[in-house]
A and B are shown apart, each in its own frame.
Chain A
């Protein structure tokens, strides 16, 4: 099956810092989603991004489908950005294949 790799596995940031999370995937996909999982387990949709760049406030994402990777940018990080960030590739009738996630801790 398709492989999804996320890096780095862990990230510690000081409040106000910028960071980039990466997602590599092994095969062509229909689409890609980025999620933030809060401490209670809820997966919150961040981006639905098959290609190109999207921005939502301090977050932005870029997917280069031809090179099989996606990037999530967090700018001016805040403590509320802490949590686990997952990318998931969409293939085979909407089946999502998740990466292992990036655990982000933002310290005051």
Chain B
């Protein structure tokens, strides 16, 4: 039973660039949520995708956007990168619209220089 996978593992970008992170949910799950975790803090909710639509969104600017594909995998896009976007980006998946237990991937560590 494959768990949640994310790619890439690490990424280094320059201010102003754009980045795309990818997530494949756990087998049988249909909902993907993205979180940003700054150093020394708890993860913060970015947004959630269900049935290929953004169902809810946290307090993040429009520079953060996403997509969910028919196979339930998801992408997180960040435009016009800022130094403050450096963080661990975590993807979580759940089933039946994530009303039950959610599972996290290993994360993508983004460094913006």
Contact across chains for B106 and A100 when beta carbons are under 8 A apart = no
Using known A-B contacts A92-B56, A94-B31, A94-B48, determine if residue A33 contacts B101 with beta carbons closer than 8 Å. Answer: yes
Residues of B15-72 at the interface with A, using a CB-CB cut-off of 8 Å, are: 31, 33, 35, 37, 41-45, 48, 50, 55-56, 58
Which of A40-48, A53-61, A69-77 lies at the interface with chain B? A40-48
Residues of B in contact with A, size category: 20 to 34
Q: Is the CB of B45 within 8 A of A96?
A: yes
Main secondary structure, interface of A, reads: strand
On B, residues with C-beta under 8 Å from A are: 31, 33, 35, 37, 41-45, 48, 50, 55-56, 58, 88, 90, 92, 94, 97-104, 106-107, 109
A-to-B contact residues, CB < 8 Å: 30-31, 33, 35, 40-43, 45, 48, 86, 88, 90, 92-101
